[in-house]
Amino acid sequence: MDEYFDVSVTDPVEIDLHLFDRWVLGYTEEDSVVQKRQTFIQHSPAEVTMVSDELFSRQWVEREIKREVAQQYMLFRALKEVLAEPRKGLSSQSLFQLSSTLANTVIERFYALDELLLRELAGKKLATKLRRDLDDVEEKTMIPLVACKRQFDNVRRVLDKYKEEDSEVGDLASSIADTFMISKDLAKQYSSIVFLCYHRFECGRKRVAAFTFADLRHFAFTLTAHWTETGKGLQFDSKYLVRLQDLRSHVYNDKETLETCRKSSMRFLREAG
């Protein structure tokens, strides 16, 4: 693709959010040029593309579209490193002067998650090998590979931060929202996938194959509320785990007692609706 660059300084930085969304979803510059050209033709008066004056000629329009898309994509690639650590990145640099509203919008969209992808990642070790195999996930979920990698990297980045914490975080979702400058609703999605991957729950087994990520998220929130030290954190309550181990030694090895517990649990769930 030909390169079109003009040198300019803007304060604050201007971002085409429609192009940013396409970049986040994995569309190439060429794809976006084609889409933008089609949009221009559809929304412009017919006579605009018919006149011979260079200002409104098709050649001029094509050049301007390519230039705009190229500049925006170059900006997005430069922003990517800043968005990896938004609170630190935005405060420690002066190149990208974003209004607070625009910054929040860009961060939220960059960290957006797709539940179909999260279902594939749930409970797994987010290692380099898994990232290399994301083309299988792309084929299964129909999510572009670039978008799969972006979300994988974002989830792993958040997970790594809390794996490195020396002490229990009080409220995981609130901490994620504050650290990565995202909304509380999006942070709750991250807290659930982080919880499932941190504790390596086996979400790929046949018995839970029909579960959606919404089901697993509810499971994660329930365990977080009742089994963690703070009721909102990441670490299981150690005293509670000891009691569970004692209960298992008494129940798991006694088939009759285990069957009684199973029936009681099923009856409770049916009555609860």
pLDDT digits over 92-127, tens only? 666 778 888 999 999 999 999 999 999 999 999 999
pLDDT of residue 106: 94
Residues 6+ apart with CB under 8 A from 243: none
pLDDT at 1 > cutoff 80: no
Average pLDDT score over residue span 74-99: 83
Of 41-55, 125-139, 155-169, 242-256, give the lowest mean pLDDT range: 41-55
Of 128-132, 194-198, 231-235, give the lowest mean pLDDT range: 231-235
Task: Give φ, ψ of 228 to 5 degrees.
Answer: -90, 165
What is the token pair recorded at 81?
Answer: 């490193």
- pLDDT tens track for 162-211: 987 756 778 999 999 999 999 999 999 999 999 999 999 999 999 899 99
pLDDT of residue 62: 83
pLDDT band of residue 264 (cuts 50, 70, 90) is confident
Q: Which residue has the higher pLDDT, 50 or 200?
A: 200
pLDDT band of residue 9 (cuts 50, 70, 90) is low
Q: Using CA atoms, how far apart are residues 187 and 182, in angstroms rounded to an integer?
A: 6
pLDDT of residue 22: 94
Average pLDDT score over residue span 60-71: 89
Q: How high does pLDDT run on average in the chain?
A: 86
Residues 6+ apart with CB under 8 A from 108: 182, 183, 186
Single-letter residue type at 97: Q
pTM of the model: 0.82
pLDDT of residue 51: 47
Could you tell me the CA-to-CA distances from 4 to 7, 18, 62, 69, 73 in Å, in that order?
A: 10, 20, 11, 9, 12
pLDDT of residue 4: 52
